[in-house]
Amino acid sequence: MDVIPENIVDFHTHLFPDKLIDAIWGKFLNDYNWDVIYRLYHRECIDFLKRHHVSHIVYSNYAHKKGVAEGLNRWNRSVLDEFPHLYCFAAIHPDDENCMEIAKNIISHPKVLGFKLQHLVQHFYPYDERLFPIYDLVMEKDKRILFHVGTGPVASPYVGIQHFEKLLKTYPDIPANVAHMGAFECREFMDLLNDHKDLYFDTSFAFFNGMDMGFNLDPSYLEKNKDRIVYGSDFPNLIFPREEEIDTLVSLGLSDEFYQKVFFNNGMELIKRHSTV
């Protein structure tokens, strides 16, 4: 793994309060037969990643229903204040009557990079007009949206390239990260890069050899777009050892510049741009 930088920026991890992450792990097992192998709570996750050469951690969480976001963001604020080199895509849900108040409150935190939208779980479309004030706020404050909007690992009526393209017709310049390399529709999502200059992808859960979902294009797509990809692990919500994805990326034999940019430089540039610490 000599090509991997000594310090890594992990741009896609998940931290939740203990009871909520327990419920998520239970749902994974009951609904999808995914047995998460890293049953670690947030302090244990942070410690694990630091011990594995992750110098900067970007995590996200999401409000799975109305009434959850405000309390979750209070928790986010306390965790961000406790740990250095920790950054967050915060929670929001358009069903909350005080959605914009919640958004304005948490986006003011200097280590909040923007918001996470998990369309598979939250059951609304990315072009839902209730989200437009959130998008306007994000762009006004120079923040980002992390979208889980691809059809992998599980499809639903709310995810897919057609929904994201519909959003881009209204917000062509939205600062966006697409999780999981846009799987299963990797080609269609990556074809958007030329026309949307603030669109990035993360590698999370997309390079495990044992998964049917994942990046399914020639590695030349990665090399060509190395300025627009950040490494993410999806830790701790993994059913394969974390190292497998890193090893798969290394086995592709891409340029040293690719690994330096994807594992460190690109993530740090986004952190510096969207945080004020």
For the stretch 122-136, pLDDT in tens is 999 999 999 999 999
Q: Is 226 helix (H, G, I), strand (E, B) or coil?
A: helix
Domain-embedded: residue 2? no
pTM score above 0.75: yes
Q: Residue 208 sits in which domain range?
A: 8-274
Question: Domain count of the chain?
Answer: 1
Domain-embedded: residue 39? yes
Q: How confident is the model at residue 213 (pLDDT cuts 50, 70, 90)?
A: low
Looking at the predicted structure, is the pLDDT value of residue 211 above 80? no
pLDDT tens for residues 63-110?
999 999 999 999 999 999 999 999 999 999 999 999 999 999 999 999
Burial 12-28 (b: 16+ CB within 10 A, else e): bbbbbbeebbeebbeee
Domain-embedded: residue 108? yes
For residues 111 and 82, the answer to whether their CB atoms sit within 8 Å is: no
Domain-embedded: residue 164? yes
Domain-embedded: residue 258? yes
CA triple 91-208-181, angle to 5 deg: 50
Q: How many CB atoms lie within 10 A of CB 86?
A: 21
Q: How confident is the model at residue 1 (pLDDT cuts 50, 70, 90)?
A: low
Strands laid side by side in the 229-230 sheet: 8-14, 54-60, 86-90, 112-118, 144-148, 176-178, 199-202, 229-230
Give the CATH number of the domain where residue 18 resides. Answer: 3.20.20.140
Domain-embedded: residue 224? yes
Q: Is the peptide bond before 126 cis (omega within 30 degrees of 0)?
A: no
Domain-embedded: residue 265? yes
Domain-embedded: residue 1? no
What is the average pLDDT value for the chain, to the nearest integer? 96
